[in-house]
Amino acid sequence: MSSKVPMSTISPNVIDIPLVREARYYRKWDEEYLLCDLCAHYCKISEGEKGICHVRQNVQGKLYTFVYGKVVACQTAKVEKIPLFHYRPGSQSLTIATPGCNFHCSYCNNYDISVLFQETGEPVDWGCPMSPEEVVALACMTDCSSVAFSYTEPTIFYEYAHEIAEQASDAGFRILFGTNGYITEEPLKEIASCLDVANVDLKTFSDKTHRRVMGAKLQPVLDCLTQMKALGIWVEVTTPVIPTLNDSEKELRDIATFVRELGAEVPWHVVRFYPDFRLNHLPVTPAASLRRAREIGQEAGLRYVYTNISAGGEGEHTYCRLCRETLIERFGYEVRKNRLVEGCCPVCGTPVDGVDMDPAKAKQITYCAQRPGAQFVT
Mean per-residue pLDDT over the chain, rounded: 89
- Specify the CATH number for the domain of residue 208: 3.20.20.70
Segment 356-360 shows an average pLDDT of 85
Residues 207 and 292 in one domain: yes
Residues 184 and 252 in one domain: yes
pLDDT at 213: 95
Segment 175-204 shows an average pLDDT of 98
The closest alpha carbon to 245, from 217, 277, 205, belongs to 205
Amino acid at 99: P
Residues 78 and 55 in one domain: no
Q: Is residue 326 part of a domain?
A: no
Residues 78 and 48 in one domain: no
Burial call 283-306: b when 16+ CB within 10 Å, e when fewer: eebeeebbbbbbebbeebebbbbb
Q: Say how many Å lie between the first and final Cα of the chain, rounded.
A: 49
Residues 79 and 145 in one domain: yes
Q: Could you tell me the strand order of the sheet in which 92-97 lies?
A: 73-78, 92-97, 146-149, 174-179, 197-201, 234-241, 268-272, 305-307
DSSP designation for 85: S
pLDDT reading at 149 higher than 60: yes
Q: Is residue 89 part of a domain?
A: yes
pLDDT reading at 57 higher than 70: yes
Residues 115 and 230 in one domain: yes
Domain boundary (65, 81, 106) is at: 65
Our count of domains for the chain comes to 2
Q: How far apart are CA 130 and CA 125, in angstroms?
A: 14
* Structural domain of 58: 2-65
Q: Is residue 41 part of a domain?
A: yes
Segment 9-21 shows an average pLDDT of 55
Residues 131 and 20 in one domain: no
Q: To the nearest whole percent, how much of the chain has pLDDT over 70? A: 88
Residues 16 and 91 in one domain: no
The DSSP secondary structure of 223-244, one letter per residue, reads HHHHHHHHTT-EEEEEEEE-TT
**What SS3 state is found at 315?**
helix
Which helix (H) or strand (E) covers residue 50, if one does? strand 49-51
49-51 and 2-4 beta bridge pairing: antiparallel
Between residues 294 and 333, the one the model is more confident about: 294
Domain boundary (303, 323, 347) is at: 303
pLDDT at 108: 84
pLDDT at 156: 96
Backbone angles phi, psi at 43, to 5 degrees: -65, 135
Residues 44 and 179 in one domain: no
Between residues 233 and 126, the one the model is more confident about: 233
- For 277-312, how does the pLDDT look when each residue is reduced to its tens digit (9 = 90+)? 888 899 999 999 999 999 999 999 999 999 998 877
Q: Is residue 130 part of a domain?
A: yes
Q: To the nearest whole percent, how much of the chain has pLDDT over 90? A: 79
Q: How many residues does the chain have?
A: 378
Residues 10 and 145 in one domain: no
Segment 203-212 shows an average pLDDT of 97
Backbone angles phi, psi at 213, to 5 degrees: -95, -35
Segment 142-150 shows an average pLDDT of 95
The DSSP secondary structure of 186-211, one letter per residue, reads HHHHHHTTT--EEEEE---S-HHHII
Radius of gyration of the chain (CA): 21
Q: Is residue 358 part of a domain?
A: no
**Helix, strand, coil distribution of the chain in percent, nearest 5:** 30, 25, 45
Alpha-carbon separation of residue 286 from 241, 273, 306, 309 (angstroms): 9, 9, 15, 9
DSSP designation for 294: H
Q: How far apart are CA 237 and CA 180, in angstroms?
A: 10
Q: Is residue 240 part of a domain?
A: yes
pLDDT reading at 55 higher than 70: yes
Between residues 227 and 3, the one the model is more confident about: 227
Domain boundary (255, 287, 303) is at: 303
pLDDT category, 250, cuts 50, 70, 90? very high
Query: Largest alpha-carbon pair distance within the chain?
Result: 68
Question: CA triplet 63, 69, 70: central angle to 5 degrees?
Answer: 95
pLDDT category, 106, cuts 50, 70, 90? confident
**What SS3 state is found at 139?**
helix
Residues 128 and 267 in one domain: yes
Q: How far apart are CA 200 and CA 53, in angstroms?
A: 18
Q: Is residue 344 part of a domain?
A: no
Segment 34-39 shows an average pLDDT of 98
Count CA atoms closer than 13 A to 322's CA, side-chain side.
10
> Please, is 11 exposed, middle or buried when counting C-beta atoms within 10 Å of its C-beta (0-12, 13-18, 19+)?
exposed
pLDDT reading at 116 higher than 80: no
pLDDT at 120: 66
Residues 115 and 20 in one domain: no
Q: How far apart are CA 94 and CA 139, in angstroms?
A: 6
Q: Is residue 236 part of a domain?
A: yes
pLDDT at 94: 97
Q: How far apart are CA 155 and CA 215, in angstroms?
A: 16
Q: What is the pTM of this model?
A: 0.91
Hey, how many other C-beta atoms are within 10 angstroms of the C-beta on 163? 18
